[in-house]
């Protein structure tokens, strides 16, 4: 996980939990959803075949959680030994490498954009690695790094040491720069209603969001708080606001709410709406693992920072602050979702999937080690275990199709493309052929 991701995740750890978490029993057990968990299927209980990777490669272990697959034109891109490397997806054979290159920031059909050890921003041909252009990044470079994103046809570069700039992706011509913005632990949120929105940390706890003119980079507004961006809906930025505990004395109860979300006008940065749900006597040891909005619902997985685990709740947007949420606690510790209408939970070493429309649940059986993370891709459920094993499971039946022993202490995102599975870990990349039923 890159440094930015770690700090931003830490910023979220400031709120929330209930019932069996021992936090004052604010959410009644009667509001917990009911539903039967089907017995473990024969397929889930059967021995899992060992799936040997077709190839694997050591990497520098960064950008493990990128949403975009690091692939294009049948090639995989990664950083290792101070180089940006392109390898054949099917075989792992090295196709080209560029000294001094970091992991790709942006990948298109034709190009790979990356930063160098000195903070330069570079465009290379995605097929042959030929450098097309190189520009100097804004402000002095530091070990904190620099990142870039493609927004509305413009390449936006932001330096963790401060400042950001915009370039034409075709020729590298600089459109504008703003050297004044502190961009440590920064994120590029997106462009909404003609405003470029970015964020960074204030003090490793509070965040600050900036609205910029996308044509000039000039600051239009700044909003500060313990915020995390959720979505853009109906012309508004939707954010979750955590309680500000930066000045709270340890051991002193701090009243607050289980969930607070706000709307910000992207043109002004002003809060236009605030909704609070479930008042609590003390929010000082509450932590949020996940928040998302789907249709009229807000899903949130929250837990006690002193305990290992979070539980999923569902709120209806616009409801009264004292209305009890729907709780999925009976299904166990939250792992993932809602994803494609399903959520995933753990009860000890048992993995459970629940369809949220009818609350039907299937047990995917027990594992030799607790499940730490779950992804769904197509017809597959991909489970990462604490012991470094990676399981491929058929979502509909629970059949375990294969197991890869990565021996990694951190397993990031998996991707599927062209019948291949690519798994990112802190030990490197693992590539395997997808089982027929998951293609």
Give pLDDT tens digits for 87-116. Answer: 999 999 999 999 998 899 999 999 999 999
Per DSSP, the three-state class of 146 is strand
Query: Is pLDDT of 34 > 60?
Result: no
Contacts of 344 (CB under 8 A, 6+ apart): 334, 335, 336, 337, 351, 352, 353, 354, 374, 376, 381
Residue 14: closest CA among 278, 308, 312, 286: 286
User: What is the pLDDT at residue 12?
Assistant: 38
pLDDT digits (tens, 9 = 90+) for 285-299: 888 899 999 999 999
What the block records as the tokens of 232 is 């853009």
**Collapsing DSSP states into helix, strand and coil, what is residue 11?**
helix
Q: Which of 3, 13, 31, 112 is nearest to 329 (CA)?
A: 31
pLDDT at 57: 96
What pLDDT score does 319 carry?
A: 85
Share of the chain above pLDDT 70, in %: 88
- Across-strand partners of 371? 385
Judged by average pLDDT, the poorest of 22-31, 232-241, 273-282 is 22-31
**Contact predicate 227/288, CB 8 Å:** no
DSSP assignment of 188-223 equals: EEEEETTEEEEEEESSSSSEEEEEE-TTT--EEEEE
Percent of the chain residues past pLDDT 90, beyond the cut: 66
Q: In which band, very low, low, confident or very high, does the pLDDT at 439 lie, cut at 50, 70 and 90?
A: confident
Confidence of residue 26 (pLDDT cuts 50, 70, 90): very low
> Which residue would you say has higher pLDDT here, 166 or 102?
166
**Which residues, in sequence order, are CB contacts of 427 under 8 Å at separation 6+?**
58, 61, 406, 407, 408, 409
Report the range of poorest mean pLDDT among 33-47, 364-378, 418-432. Answer: 33-47
* Residue 10: pLDDT over 50: no
Judge whether residue 133 has pLDDT over 50. Answer: yes
Closest CA relative to residue 322, chosen from 15, 22, 32, 28: 28
Split at pLDDT 50, 70, 90, the class of 29 is: very low
Q: How confident is the model at residue 11 (pLDDT cuts 50, 70, 90)?
A: very low
Weakest mean pLDDT among 203-207, 225-229, 313-317: 203-207
What is the end-to-end Cα distance of the chain in Å, rounded?
Answer: 28
Per-residue pLDDT, averaged over 180-199, amounts to 94
Residues 438, 419: Cα–Cα separation, whole Å = 8
What would the mean pLDDT of 143-158 be, rounded to a whole number?
Answer: 90
The DSSP call for residue 42 is: H
Distance from C-alpha of 331 to C-alpha of 139, rounded to nearest angstrom: 50
For the chain, the average pLDDT equals: 87
420: pLDDT strictly greater than 50: yes
Give the separation between CA 89 and CA 366, rounded to whole angstroms. 32
């Amino acid at each position: 996980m890159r440094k930015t991701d770690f700090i931003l995740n830490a910023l979220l750890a400031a709120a929330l939990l209930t019932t069996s978490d021992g936090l004052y029993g604010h959410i009644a057990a009667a509001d917990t959803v009911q539903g039967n968990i089907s017995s473990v299927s024969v397929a889930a209980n059967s021995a899992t075949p060992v799936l040997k990777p077709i190839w694997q490669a050591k990497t520098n272990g960064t950008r493990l959680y990128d949403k975009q697959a690091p692939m294009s034109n049948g090639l995989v891109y990664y950083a290792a030994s101070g180089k940006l490397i392109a390898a054949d997806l099917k075989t792992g054979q090295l196709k080209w490498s560029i000294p001094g290159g970091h992991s790709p920031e942006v990948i298109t059909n034709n190009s790979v954009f990356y930063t160098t050890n000195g903070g330069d921003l570079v465009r290379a041909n995605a097929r042959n690695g030929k450098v097309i252009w190189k520009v100097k990044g804004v402000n002095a470079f530091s070990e904190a790094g620099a990142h870039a994103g493609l927004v509305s046809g413009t390449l936006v570069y932001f330096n963790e040491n401060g400042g950001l700039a915009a370039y034409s992706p075709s020729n590298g011509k600089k459109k504008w720069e703003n050297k004044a913005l502190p961009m440590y632990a920064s994120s590029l949120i997106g462009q909404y209603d003609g405003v470029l929105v970015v964020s960074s940390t204030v003090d490793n706890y509070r965040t600050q969001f900036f609205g910029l003119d996308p044509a000039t980079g000039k600051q239009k507004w700044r909003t500060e708080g313990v915020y995390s961006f959720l979505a853009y809906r109906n012309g508004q930025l939707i954010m979750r606001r955590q309680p500000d505990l930066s000045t709270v004395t340890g051991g002193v109860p701090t009243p607050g709410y289980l969930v607070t979300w706000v709307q910000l006008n992207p043109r002004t940065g002003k809060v236009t709406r605030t909704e609070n749900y479930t008042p609590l006597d003390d929010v000082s040891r509450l932590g949020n693992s996940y928040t998302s909005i789907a249709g009229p619902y807000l899903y949130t997985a929250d837990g006690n920072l002193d305990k290992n685990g979070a539980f999923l709740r569902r709120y209806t947007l616009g409801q009264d602050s004292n209305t009890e949420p729907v709780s999925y606690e009976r299904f166990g510790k939250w792992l993932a979702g809602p994803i494609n209408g399903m959520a995933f939970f753990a009860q000890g070493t048992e993995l459970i999937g629940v369809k949220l429309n009818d609350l039907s649940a299937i047990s995917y059986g027990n594992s030799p080690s607790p499940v730490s993370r779950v992804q769904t891709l197509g017809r597959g459920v991909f489970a990462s275990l604490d012991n470094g094993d990676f399981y491929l499971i058929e979502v509909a039946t629970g059949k375990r199709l294969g197991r890869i022993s990565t021996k990694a202490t951190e397993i990031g995102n998996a991707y599927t493309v062209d019948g291949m599975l690519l798994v990112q870990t802190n030990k490197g990349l693992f590539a395997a052929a997808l089982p027929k039923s998951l293609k």
